[in-house]
Structure 1
Amino acid sequence: MSLSITRELVLAQARTLARSGRHGEAVELLEDLQEEPSVTVLDLLARIHAQQGDLDRADQCWAEAERLAPGGAEIAAGRRRIAAMRPAARRRRLGKGLLATCTVLVTGAVLVLLVDIRLETAGLRMSQQPAALPTGQEVAAPPTVVTISPPEKPDVLARMRLDVPGIRVRRSPGEISIVFKEALFSQGTELTRRGQAVLDGLGRRLRPYANEIDVAVVGHTDRDALLPGGEYVSNTDLGLARATYVREILRTTSRIPTTRFALSSLGGVMPPYRDDARNRTVTLRISGAAG
């Protein structure tokens, strides 16, 4: 298996671990790739450190990514968020100290006031009786306050319209699965003309939701074993290459950030179709962005 494909597999596994909350394991995998640092690895590391609350390490990773690829909009936005969060964190720490001090002072003042109020109330009971209401007069009930909550924003998956010729869409809670009706590839990673058109159309449909979704791309092959000496050593290797190829097409047409894609390969295992020809393809799983 080529080095680049191995790196893609490690990245995909690290993203899966991070999304399930296993940040430490994800960081260990990514640090193994740091001998040859890349913007993708550094960006994912920065996001994990930020989720863990380690703002300094997150900013360091984004700063290194910015040095490797100046002008990246997402990296610059990440560093701006870190800069905005730092004074807020200091204010929260200061606020906690002031709150604790004020709580002690206010508690003492409240106790004194309670004693005065109780003494004054006892004296009033001795000297005054409440005035009786005239017969037949009713006390008006306080007005009812009705709070109208703003309508909730529909879930991104519910808002998505994917009426693209050449695909089958299945919706389930938290996920949209997409299967292509015809094979995307004629052989290897050579797209058919129809496959290119379907992917372009799907990418345009996904573009309005580019910053709200994650996309998992799963590569498939037919069941025939590959001949020795070819470009790919196994069907798993070929499936991952197809997933990578489709990711690049969708990334370009939909403008979904690279970090929101996860790649994997099933090779000839669990194919979407019974006939081998249509299994020269990929399947997609779309979910709401993990934050």
Structure 2
Amino acid sequence: MTELRSALHDQLTLSRAHAAAYAGDLDLAMSLLGSIPPTVASLDLKARVHAQRGEFSTADSCWIQVLSMESSDPDAKAGREAIARIIAGGRARPLVNAAQAAVVAAAVVATAVVGGVVWLSSSDRAPAAAAPIPPQAHQDSNPLQAQVDELRQRLSAVDSERTAAAARHQQALDTLAARFAGIPGVRVERRADDVRLVFEAGVFWTEAEITTAARPLLTEIGARLADAHASVTIVGHAVAVAGGRTSGGSTVALARAQVAAGYLATGGKLPLTAFKLATADQSEGPFPDAPRNRTVTILLSVPAGESK
């Protein structure tokens, strides 16, 4: 995505540089060209602008760079040949006074504009002003415009697909939340990127000894998971005890996640490998009191590709 936007920016800048050169604003054209990476197209235009300014050596260097990228580029070859003829012609002529030099220079670098591209004329007399080019003809003859339009269309398609994918993802999460609604004693929390199931009462008496009330709840959730097409993470919780660890999770929390996974697997006839196990930090319990934090929470997310 970032690459597409960068490419579109460079193409738009190059198109603006063409327009500036077409309008005779060579300083603006050169400034715009200096802000984008060198390519065959940008170096070719830069060479033409330098040549129009009478900076023939610099123009020749630009075309040499073009040929290093594209050895058979016909415009670069023609440009170098034109400059060679101009320089050779200049050497063959006797020195002229300043006024004559200005006239000769203007004639040497006289330009014709075709499709918005500045081109050299090696004629020794200034040509008549070029006839205006109809806007549509100018646009059709400029391949850059087609590239810019194509990039715009691709970016628009990417943005549209991203928006549609986000909408499908949210719809899939809504469906997951609705599937698990209505189980007594289980709170369904629809969050930005997942659905969390929280048990209102503690799931374990002590250590990993599950309560009688929690068993059917876990079994029911497992049954609803059978065809839910969800990624399931079971997070074990534990409270800090005197003399024990106060952060970083615990083996008790992991054991609770394992016990809960067994009941979910039984309820949905699912393999234990269908569940990811995790432990929460002791400070991350869903409730403010210890009895209810002897529990697990269940995180449901949409697998990659499911919401396409």
Scaled to the shorter chain, the TM-score interval is 0.3 to 0.5
Highest CA radius of gyration, 1 or 2? 2
| Higher RCO, Cα 8 Å, sep 6+ | 1
TM-score (norm 1): 0.41
TM-score (norm 2): 0.39
